[in-house]
Each structure stands twice: as structure tokens, then as C-alpha cells.
Amino acid sequence: KKYLKEQATPAELASDQRKTNALQKQISQIQIDRAKKNKSRQAMATAQQTASARKPEDQINQQISKAKKEKSRAQNEENKIKNEIEDLNKLELGVEITQEQKTARLKELEERLNTAIQQKEAANEQIKAGIKQKDAILDQINQINAAASQQASAAQDAIDQLEDAQDDIEK
């Protein structure tokens, strides 16, 4: 009789099981909340990393833009000088211009033309270098995003498993 009195009744067992389930559910909810916060923090860290990588990209874009403007200016100067040489060659020797004047003017124009061509080539090299730098930054950003995507996927998988476990507690 004493042994039977010490044994829990089915109602007490059911009550204890409900309390245990409730506590397990609370524990699993804490774990789910923690996992969601970690996932959110990872997303914020990724955003900060991406933003810090974007700053040099903006500077490089400005450098590329400046180099493109310089290239365009040098190209325009080159075209202008070529037109002047063409016009100079159309002049009639002896009537409109002397040979000495023509030679001197051609020499001056060719020097300006060489300078314009060199400026254009230098600007083109700056553009190429900027594009390489920009590609490296974009590769870095892509790596950051790929790693973040994997982390987010793993975090979501963990959250899903915890939620499934929480549902199983009720069953």
C-alpha cells in the first residue's frame, strides 16, 4: 500500500509531462531566438564589410571617370591638331605660306600631337588600372556575399531544425 501511495497518479504524471514539455518548449524558443539574433548579426556584419569595400570602389570610379574625361580631352586635342595639319597641307606654297613657315608650323603641330597622343595613352592606362582594381574589389564583395549566403543558409537550417524540434515536443 505504501508503495502504491508513493507512486504518481496518471493525472500527476500527465501534469508533470505537460510541465516538462512547457519547459522544453521554452528552452527551444530561447535557442531559436538566439539563432535568429545570430543570423541578424551576421547579416549586419556582411553589410558593414560590403560597405567598407564599396568606399574604395567609389574612389576608383571617380579616378576612372577623371581618366575618361582626360582621354576624351586628349582625343579632341589630337583631332584638332590633325585637322590643323590637314589644313596646313592644303595651303599653296609660295602664295599662302612659305616652306619655312610650313615646316616650322608642322614641327610645332607634330610636337603638340605627340603630347596629346601620350596624354591619351596615359589616361587609357589609368582607365585599365582602375578597371583592374575595381574588378578586384568586386571579386572581394562577391566572396563576402558568397560566404554570407552560406552562413545565412546554415543559420536558417539550424533555425528550421530547432523549430521542428519544438513542434515535436508538443507531439
Convert the pLDDT of each residue in 69-103 to its tens digit.
Answer: 999 999 999 999 999 999 988 888 877 888 899 89
Span 138-149, pLDDT tens digits: 999 999 999 999
- Is the model's pLDDT at 118 over the cut of 90? yes
Q: What is the pTM of this model?
A: 0.67
Residue found by looking up cell 556582411 in the block:
46
User: Is 115 within 8 Å of 66 (Cβ atoms)?
Assistant: no
pLDDT score recorded for residue 34: 93
Contact 89, 131 (CB under 8 A): no
